Homo-oligomer: A and B are copies of this chain.
Amino acid sequence: MSVTDELLANNARYTESFTGPLPLPPSKHVAVVACMDARINVYGVLGLNEGEAHVIRNAGGVVTEDEVRSLAISQRLLGTEEIILIHHTDCGMLTFTDDEFKKSIQEDVGVKPSWAAEAFSDLETDVRQSIARIKNSPFVPKKDHIRGFVFDVATGKLNEVV
């Protein structure tokens, strides 16, 4: 049995106590942008319930064009007004550089990615960079309530980047 099959068995149990459907727009009018890291259970970390917040995640929790796209849709079509950015301690993005990652791919498959890997060397600096990218975008209209945090994988605590 694959892991996917195992998780589908979990899903069958989930449906037994599921009550829906909830409305489409997030009831708390908030969008979260977080790293894909397995240790960040966004619903647990923030005490979110189903239906309350958009959750956008990728490697690093960085803001690239696709996060701008998602935030533009979130704010313009579905009414979110606050943004919470979450990076975290012990992040994999701290362990390599763009150059070496892209070179390893080129050596493996003969093609070098045209995109940035978005590795970074300092967590707080990169949270500020992600905020700066949102503030610099004409496509995300609501920028008055953007806050950035570093999640501590040892304690579960969100520490604000100021």
Contact = CB atoms under 8 A, between A and B. Distances in A.
Contacts of A69: 58-59, 64, 113, 115-118
Copies of this chain, tallied across the complex: 2
Interface in A47-81: 47-59, 64-70, 72-74, 76-78
A20 B154 contact: yes
A29 interface: yes
Nearest to A31: B36
B54 A50 contact: no
Given A14-B47, A65-B66, A66-B65, A59 B41 contact: no
A6 to B, nearest CB: 8
Contacts of A116: 69
Contact of A22 (B55, B117, B153): B153
Nearest to A146: B4
Most chain B Cβ neighbours within 10 Å, of A21, A45, A46, A58: A58
11 contacts: A7-B84, A11-B156, A21-B89, A39-B51, A40-B50, A58-B66, A58-B67, A66-B67, A72-B113, A109-B138, A109-B141
